[in-house]
Homo-oligomer: A and B are copies of this chain.
Amino acid sequence: MRIILDIMSGDRAPLEMLKGAVEAKKEKYSEGVEYTLVGDESVIKKLAEENRLDISGFEIRHTEVVLDMHDDPMAVMKEKKDSSLGTGLRMLAGGEGDAFVSCGNTGALFCGSTLILKRVKGIQRAAIGAILPLTKPLMLMDSGASVKVNEDYLHLFGVMGSAYMKAIYGVECPRVAMINNGSEETKGGELQLLAYPKLMASKFINFIGNVEGNQLPFGYCDVALCDGFVGNIVLKTTEGMGRLMSAELKGMFKSGLGGILAYLLLKSQLKNFKKKFDSTEHGGAPILGITKTVIKAHGSSNAKAFKNAIRQAIQCERAGVVDIIAKEAAAYSEEKKRMAAEAQENSAE
């Protein structure tokens, strides 16, 4: 297996990405894994030397172009197709690797994944599945790629999210719920009203109904469905609330001698607390529904976050997430055909 790494994208690139790659390569899960670093060769070599990082086992694919956060996503198809992000996706498409990890521009990575790697047959829209680090890991489908979706997309988001949670977290029969403004099936806007009966009738997901915002943090479901607009807001609001609470906690433990003493008393619990709600522990967000494994790591990733995103890419590859999704999508397409034929037969009778 070969993992392709975008070393140049991200707020803390390239040094933190390089450190993360070197750390990941030392881990047991990297046995049998080869790595290609995409980026400026001289910069990578210089950084490695300065920071005493052993990059002898890495292959380097040289490119000086970087696609940044301010670039138009479509630049990955045109003026910045030779960027580290664009090059990585094209190498993957050309069979020069099995998975790609990047902290780059979300829109560009999503568009590039869809246009260069193509969608799995039967999947009408790919999605970004961020993992919320709550009481239990929760996959948010979609986390921000598509502002507007329809009820068919939502259903397939549920199918893909279930496949992921089963393969990576070992959840036997993932509970899928739709984010809504109430638990009743009559709640929501047009999308939710159309989607509810379809999701409920599906044989391909374990749909348990609507989920409200206050239930999300408490392990009510394993996959939460929504359009990318709501997904972005839920993802960022939980992130912001987590940050607010840590800031408040820090302030408390820094308040005088009592605070410092209390900190020392609770040190191990605080460490567990931090780890439990640390999104970097889960790696990045997989882009699901495309023909290869692509992991979007957070733009602000440090070495640890990037390292965990690499582990996640390897896990996805080993679990065969893309193949599982392809099989589910094919089975669903068959089911749709069968039902259409049945409906035609019935109307002919």
> Residues of A with Cβ closer than 8 Å to B?
134-135, 144, 147-148, 179, 181-182, 188-189, 212-218, 228-230, 232-245, 248-249, 252-253, 255, 258-259, 261-263, 265-266, 269-270, 273, 276-277
Alpha-carbon separation in the docked complex, A261 to B258 (Å): 10
Is A233 in contact with B181, judged by CB distance below 8 angstroms? yes
Q: Which residues of B contact A230 (CB under 8 A)?
A: 229-230, 233
Q: Are A273 and B244 in contact (CB under 8 A)?
A: no
Report yes or no: B240 in contact with A213, Cβ–Cβ below 8 A.
Answer: yes
Q: How many copies, total? A: 2
Residue of B181, B238, B252, B273 near A241 (CB, 8 A) is B238
Residues from chain B with a CB closer than 8 A to the CB of A234 are: 213, 233, 237
Give bound CA distance, A263 to B266, whole Å.
10
Question: CA–CA, A148 to B190, complex, Å?
Answer: 9
Whether A218 lies near B244 (C-beta < 8 A) is yes
Our pick among B213, B216, B229, B277 for the contact of A181 (Cβ within 8 Å) is B229
Residue contact A181 to B240, C-beta cutoff 8 Å? no
CB neighbours (8 Å) of A261 from chain B are 262, 265
B258 contacts A188, C-beta separation under 8 Å: no
Query: With A144-B181, A181-B233, A252-B273 known to touch, is A240 a contact of B215 (CB < 8 Å)?
Result: yes
